[in-house]
A and B are shown apart, each in its own frame.
Chain A
Amino acid sequence: MTDDPVVAQLTEGLAAAATGLPPLPAPLPVGADDALRPEACPAHGFAPDGPFRWRATNARRRLGLGVLARLADPPPRPDEDLPDLVAATFDVLRRTARPEDGSLDAWLAGLDTVGTAVLRRAVVAWASGATPQLLPLEPGARIVLGGARTWRPPRGRFVLRAPVDVDANGGTAVVTTGRLGSAAAVRATAGCTALLAHLNGRAPVQVRVVVPGAGRSEVVAVDGMLLADAAAAYERAAATAVAALDGDDRLPRVTGEHCWSCPRRSTCEPGAAWLGERRRVIAETPR
């Protein structure tokens, strides 16, 4: 039993969510994307994962962090050409990839000249945008290879996951994201990153959420409320993941204004009907 109220709440919540969970070969993954769904509709944005396939868009950040980890120690000289550095480091990563290291390395090793050029371009673009935002590192901080941290409670049935680019060792954790969002979305993202650090031993003092394409970042202070809110979000996401095991069509659909921004709004029948009716009314309303 833990004295930490956040861990105690989360462990209890996850145990409740696991009630009725059938035996599975591995713990059920619950990611930050799941935890960041709005509360209004459990099925919001939910879609079963298709067969996973590596591509430049889902590999560039992970490989880019590998590049940054090599660039961070020793840090580059200010006058060195960034693209050359990044490209050369990527080439080293690719050459040293061994198929037995895992699916990403196996994919890397199997790429031909064209595929390598496409991936190289994507990694160089990502890392070149992220480098000025992430380097140089704070004392004691390190780039997180893989770009995520996980946590599984003792004898737990779930494994929680959240993105993190720089581990702060108690200082400022950094997480990159592709798009600017509301203050609430930034806080929720920071909460997931902070919670996973907390569960792994030490929460950062603050989380910096970086949007390289915007050239700016937001700093979110970490406190008990942030961690508790993130824990509650993971508990809800775990319950949804369990409910979706027999097919996500069993998830309750609650229509409303959130349907406008739902990624599955064109395939969700109630959502599509709600939007269709809303559009009909809109189209018949004179401007």
Chain B
Amino acid sequence: MQPTTGTERITDWLRAAGAERPAPVVDAATLDDLREGLDLLARAAAARVPDHLRPLRLTKATIDALLRCPRAGAARLAAADEGPRSGPLLVGALFEQVAHLIVERIVDPEADGPAGTFDRACAALAVASGEDVDHLVGDDARDLLEEQLFERVRRFRSSWRAPLHPAWWYRSEVPFEVAFGDGAAGPAAVLACRVDLSFGPTPPALGSGGRPRLLLELKSGRHDVAHLDDLGLYLLAAALVEGSAPVGGAVWWAAPSTPAPHGVLQTLPADAPTLQSAAVRVGRALEVAADVLGGRVATIPGGHCRFCPDRTVCPAAASSDEFGDAW
């Protein structure tokens, strides 16, 4: 699978990848090397933090925060309740619900229109997570959210043109938990991921098989190549849990501020460079996490400040406006 960028539709990508019946390109020895290296780094990092904070639990958000700004990483590690979702995150959560319903052919946004689509998204989110969005937003906010959601949903619908091939199964919100540095006290660190969509052959009821071959991450906002780093983490996690690398993955962005009628799709092969790059990020994040929890943190302001749990109290966040609207 060759990396691509641009206007390819999700449906075309899946059809081409499925038709190729591709085999993983990363061998078991490479995966063993990656795991061995991360085991060593995880043990070294865990040795620098108090026992009760082990295993160090890294998610894509934690890793991203730790590598952008250690203070943001500290805040993310310590964030219990980040409060109500901001507008972009709320639209993202609603969009994700509608996208699943489109894949399952439960809803038709063109028939429902903006208001109907918004209602269905709210109903889906209420069942999924218990969030009662419909009763939380006022009429003005609702109009804006409806409009923003529908623009994104229309682009996704344009990119997802056909039903999934019957020989393939799709799974949503697939959790992957990878332990590193196992010892008598348990793992030294855990990489925890949750993939929006994974596709693969239908698994049998018992026994092996049916491993995810392609992973797809959906983004309701603007195109940002940093999201490919997240996808790399997912590919690494899936490879280490399953013992066999997926074939590849893609990130789809609604990219609402661009003229792209069906969003932007960028693919990533699950080859050795991709997995090694992801492993390097995990390793660096482990080192910074050990710094943070061991008492050493610096502050680096940037566009990421707007999503930082410490944004209201951190002096550096006040200067982050100059980085513009990242959404």
Contacts and interface: CB of A to CB of B under 8 A. Distances in A.
A268 B242 CA distance: 40
Contacts of B106: 113-114, 117
The listed residue with most A CB atoms (<10 A of its CB), out of B50, B52, B81, is B52
A266 B80 contact: yes
B291 interface: yes
B100 interface: yes
Given A78-B207, A184-B185, A215-B242, A121 B172 contact: yes
A128 B206 contact: no
Given A79-B204, A81-B204, A83-B202, A265 B80 contact: yes
A227 interface: no
Give the bracket for the number of chain B residues in contact with chain A.
Answer: 35 or more
A281 B295 contact: yes
Interface string A276-287: 100101110111
Interface stretch (A25-33, A49-57, A231-239): A49-57
Contact of B124 (A71, A118, A132, A181): A118
Contacts of A104: none
Interface in A19-57: 38, 53, 55-57
B26 interface: no
Nearest to A187: B186
A266 B127 contact: no
Interface string B291-304: 11101111100000
A73 interface: no
B297 A183 contact: no
Contact of A56 (B50, B129, B179): B129
Contacts of B81: 264, 266-267
A283 B206 contact: no
B174 interface: yes
B173 interface: yes
Interface string B205-229: 1110010000000000000000000
B320 interface: no
B204 A121 contact: no
A153 interface: no
Interface stretch (B5-13, B70-78, B87-95, B260-268): B70-78
B107 interface: yes
Interface string B127-156: 111100000000000000000000000000
Contacts of B202: 81-84
Interface stretch (A3-11, A142-150, A242-250, A254-262): A254-262
A263 interface: yes
Interface in A108-144: 111-115, 117-119, 121-122, 125, 128-129, 131-132, 135-136
B123 interface: yes
B128 A118 contact: yes
Nearest to B123: A114
Contacts of B127: 55-56, 111, 114-115, 118-119
